Structure 1
Amino acid sequence: MLPVIKNESALIKVLLLLVLTWSLSSCTYRQLIVTPSASDTFWKQGRQYVEQSDSLLRIVICHEKKTRQNLIFYAEITNTGEQPQLIDPSAFYFIPHYKSLSTDTSLKTSKKFLLDPEIELGRINSAINREESSHKTTQSLNAFFFLMGGVLGTVNAVTGNVDEASENFESAGETVDYMNEEQADHEHEMDLLENARSFWENEVLRKTTLYAGQTVGGLLIYPMIKKAKFISLYFPVGNSKLKFDFKQTWKRM
């Protein structure tokens, strides 16, 4: 039997407590945690690394962070052999496992590739060209409208059409305001695109020829497969094909 609350202030307190409890429970969210499946790992600057090597390469990798759609890893690759090796991220791929690493062997035909930095840079450069072209066209048209407004305003002022001249000059002033706003929007968009280009040019691992003893490092960006319980990252380079397994766990925060 439910208790009867006769005091009005007590009832209000109970209602507030219920609302607070509901609010706290509704504010929880699930966060994806990505960790190496291997037990032999080490930590550096708060990141958990795992390492593998063969006669040609040594790779050290960690899960760096994630976005809404991608998983971002950081990897350092060292040429431990005697011959040059071409490191081509476009050849790197991963396989999602929806049950376990041992039972999902049939899924090896469904390999997925990471985001190719050269393709992404091509898209960004195309977007920059489109933005520049659109900006020039828009500003040229606006400059024409401004000039026409000024000319018409001057003509109407000389011929005594004061009201129309005022409207013409006001329209020309509005065009200038719009040109300034469009210029600011253009500069903001260009800043975003330039920052994106700098990221893909300098932070992401790109195609590199590694000579004996050399090391290259950078970010690797994989599309996120939220339903996968494990992901296996493959690094085919020459006759080397090192693999790293990571576990994906959703935790309520």
Structure 2
Amino acid sequence: MKNKLNILLCASLVWLAGCTPSFYHLRPASGDIAWIDGREVTRVEQNGVVLVASYEFEDPHHLVLDVEIKNRTSAPLLVDPNDFTYFPFEEKSDTLLKKTNSPYAATYRATDPEQKIEQATLEIKRQKQRLVAASIFNGVMLVATIASDIHSSNRNDRSWKQQANNRYNHAQAYNFIIQKQIADVQLQKIRTDQLQHERANWQDMALRKTTLPVGESVRGLLFLPKDTRASYLWLNYEAPADSTNLRVKFFQEKIKPEH
């Protein structure tokens, strides 16, 4: 029996090791590339607009770049994450098609932080509304349980055992309602705290729409929707005021954890 348990344990460990998820990494492959503080950074410039970019991290839905825009033109520059797009390519330099079996080439626009902030704010309000609705429902159940308890307690045609069972069942019902209310409040608090944290990250860390004065720069995180099919991608930044179009190539590497 002990040998069987050991074999089962070893098999489970092997299975878990095999299921360890891979992760993705972007490596710059064009522009002026240099290592700075342990990271590969690329720099491109056109018409006085400078783009500096490096890979930051991966989340469940995005590959995230740390980008900086410098305005060395003679006029203010509107910087907007919506002006960043990328095209994914296969290893053989073939353009990837859209995932919905469309004949058109896939293209992705950077996630809009303002939209994410608005979504988080609305969801926080919905969480409060759900708690109010749950509390009302719990109150209705409590009133109904009290009414049933009073009605049952006033009946004299029941045996002692029936009365004891009745008291026990109602006590269980009261306990269930109390525990449900506590769980509803705790769940709402956990979810609200999570949403507030997510909103704060989008507000404080993401590259947001900014009018950049002459000679100044802005820096933030750029969230690119993930396409795990790609071998490399071309990131495009188009300044809306002129014909500036900055392009940076990134290799997308799939990294498997070492066992």
TM-score where L is the length of structure 1: 0.79
User: Helix, strand or coil: the match of 1:212?
Assistant: coil
Q: Indicate which of 157, 163, 182 corresponds to 2:184.
A: 182
Aligned to 1:84: 76
Write the distance in 2 (CA, Å) between the matches of 1:251 and 1:175.
Answer: 49
Indicate yes or no: 2:29 matched with 1:37: yes
CA contact (8 A) 1:63 1:74 kept: yes
- 1:202 alignment partner AA: D
Superposition deviation, residue 82 in structure 1: 2.0
Write the distance in 1 (CA, Å) between the matches of 2:209 and 2:202.
Answer: 12
- Residues 31 and 152 of structure 1: CA distance in aligned 2, closer, same or farther (over 3 Å): closer
Q: Indicate which of 104, 107, 115 corresponds to 1:119.
A: 115
Q: Deviations over 1:26-75 (max 9, x none)?
A: 47865433211037322233221111122331111101111243211010
- Residues 145 and 56 of structure 1: CA distance in aligned 2, closer, same or farther (over 3 Å): same
Answer with 170-179 or 72-81: which moved more.
Answer: 170-179
Write the distance in 2 (CA, Å) between the matches of 1:143 and 1:234.
Answer: 56
Aligned to 1:97: 89
CA contact (8 A) 2:95 2:105 kept: no
Indicate yes or no: 2:127 matched with 1:131: yes
Q: Deviations over 1:55-98 (max 9, x none)?
A: 33111110111124321101011111121111111121001121
Answer with 106-115 or 41-50: which moved more.
Answer: 106-115
CA contact (8 A) 1:69 1:224 kept: yes
**RMSD value over aligned CA atoms?**
3.3
Indicate yes or no: 2:205 matched with 1:203: yes
Superposition deviation, residue 168 in structure 1: 3.3
CA contact (8 A) 1:229 1:249 kept: yes
Aligned to 2:247: 243
- Residues 80 and 100 of structure 1: CA distance in aligned 2, closer, same or farther (over 3 Å): farther
Structure 2 unaligned runs (5+)?
A: 99-103
- Residues 251 and 197 of structure 1: CA distance in aligned 2, closer, same or farther (over 3 Å): closer
Superposition deviation, residue 147 in structure 1: 3.5
CA contact (8 A) 2:53 2:68 kept: yes
Answer with 232-241 or 143-152: which moved more.
Answer: 143-152
- 1:77 alignment partner AA: I
Q: Indicate which of 211, 225, 230 corresponds to 1:223.
A: 225
- Residues 109 and 250 of structure 1: CA distance in aligned 2, closer, same or farther (over 3 Å): closer
TM-score where L is the length of structure 2: 0.77
- Residues 181 and 23 of structure 1: CA distance in aligned 2, closer, same or farther (over 3 Å): closer
Aligned to 1:5: none
Indicate yes or no: 2:54 matched with 1:56: no
- 2:47 alignment partner AA: S
- Residues 193 and 251 of structure 1: CA distance in aligned 2, closer, same or farther (over 3 Å): closer
User: Helix, strand or coil: the match of 2:118?
Assistant: helix
Structure 1 unaligned runs (5+)?
A: 1-11
Q: Percent identity, aligned pairs only?
A: 20
Write the distance in 2 (CA, Å) between the matches of 1:27 and 1:105.
Answer: 27
